[in-house]
């Protein structure tokens, strides 16, 4: 009951993965439980936010870049500490409740894979727990 999904990411962006998570759920006959969406990368993360107006995630990317910029004091040689920081701010996973076989998301909620250091080949895991 662990599902792995691959994706190609842009330079920076929020990719709506709600339908992928639903696909994983449809492969199960579980009515009640929880679902963990997990990002195994350290410069990307998972969040839940609005899926109606794509301008919301545009604004989020802009604001994150503005508030958590690259800093001259950063010492990490790879030069992507700002992306590592954003990953810890957004978080590496999201937990969603499963009810009557469906994700119990709010009306405007979508699940996003957040890329902060792309473009890259990435993956995420969906784990379903019955209960």
Please state, in angstroms and as integers, the Cα–Cα distance from residue 17 to each residue in 67, 79, 119, 127, 131, following that order: 25, 28, 17, 14, 24
Among 8, 11, 26, 67, binds its own copies (CB under 8 A): 67
- Residue 55 engages its own copies in binding (rule: CB under 8 A): yes
- Regarding 34 and contact with its own copies (CB under 8 A), the answer is yes
In the complex, minimum distance from the CB of residue 115 to its own copies, in angstroms, rounded to a whole number: 14
Beta-strand runs (E) in the chain? 2-8, 13-16, 33-38, 44-50, 93-99, 102-103, 109-115, 121-130
**DSSP bridge pairs for 48:** 111
Point out which residues bind its own copies (CB under 8 A): 1-2, 32-34, 36, 38-42, 47-50, 53, 55-56, 58-60, 62-64, 66-68, 71, 73-78, 81-82, 84-85, 87-97, 99, 104-109, 125, 127, 129-131
């Amino acid at each position: 009951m662990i599902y792995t999904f691959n994706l190609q990411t842009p330079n920076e962006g929020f990719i709506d993965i709600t339908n992928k998570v639903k696909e994983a759920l449809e492969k199960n006959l579980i009515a009640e439980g929880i679902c963990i969406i997990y990002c195994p990368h350290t410069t990307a993360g998972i969040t839940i936010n609005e899926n109606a107006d794509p301008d919301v995630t545009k604004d989020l990317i802009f604001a994150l870049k503005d508030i958590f910029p690259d800093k001259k004091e950063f010492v990490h040689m790879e030069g992507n500490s700002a992306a590592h920081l954003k990953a810890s701010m957004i978080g590496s996973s999201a937990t969603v409740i499963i009810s009557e076989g469906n994700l119990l998301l709010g009306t405007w909620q979508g699940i996003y894979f957040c890329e902060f250091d792309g473009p890259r080949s990435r993956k995420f895991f969906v784990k379903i727990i019955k209960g």
